Every structure is written in structure tokens, then in C-alpha cells.
Amino acid sequence: MVAGHHVYVITGVEEDTVTKADITAKQEYLVGLGFGKGTYTELIVMPLPHDTNKAKEIKDNNIELLIDNAVDNVKAAKGLCACLLLWNNKKK
């Protein structure tokens, strides 16, 4: 729990399945960005399709706010929680 809230990092891989190596790589990437142990509640790494799988995780975990960089993910989640779309991003 971070500041009294649960913070989930939900990210995907460009494959149909997620491996332990994928999860480790994502953890290392987050550490490189400054998100080490204790800065988030759980890392969820999901396979394709990201929009559908992310919406399922949001519903299953009662997530109240999504901050994302992909329009399709926000569209899939907009009826499930409040959504913020990062405008200046690599994914359109």
C-alpha cells in the first residue's frame, strides 16, 4: 500500500503469454525508472489483447483510476473507473 492506496502497475507484453522472464524484465525496468520495492502494490504483466486484459484487471481489482498512454486501453476502461490519457506519448 502506498500512502494508504493500492497502486497497481498494469503493463503488457507483445505476446499471447507472459513468462517469468517478462515479469523480471518489467520489474527491472520499473527499478530503472525509480519505482523500487514499496512504491507500488502489485505489478501485473498481461498478454495481448492489452485493452481487454487491462479492463479485466481493473474490474477484478476494483481499481478506481487508470492513467494510461494508449487510447484503446482508456476506451476499454472508461466505464469501469476514472481514466486519464497521457496526451504526449508514443502510443496513439
Domain ranges of the chain: 8-85
- Judged on CB neighbours under 10 Å (0-12, 13-18, 19+), 56 is middle
Secondary structure (3-state) at 74: helix
pLDDT above 90 for 71: yes
Q: What is the pLDDT of residues 9-63, one digit of tens each?
A: 999 999 999 999 999 999 999 999 999 988 999 999 999 999 999 999 999 999 9
Confidence of residue 4 (pLDDT cuts 50, 70, 90): confident
Residue 86 sits at φ, ψ, to 5 deg, of -70, 120
pLDDT of residue 12: 96
C-alpha cell at 26: 518489467
Q: What is the pLDDT of residues 81-90, one digit of tens each?
A: 999 999 876 6
pLDDT of residue 89: 61
Confidence of residue 5 (pLDDT cuts 50, 70, 90): confident
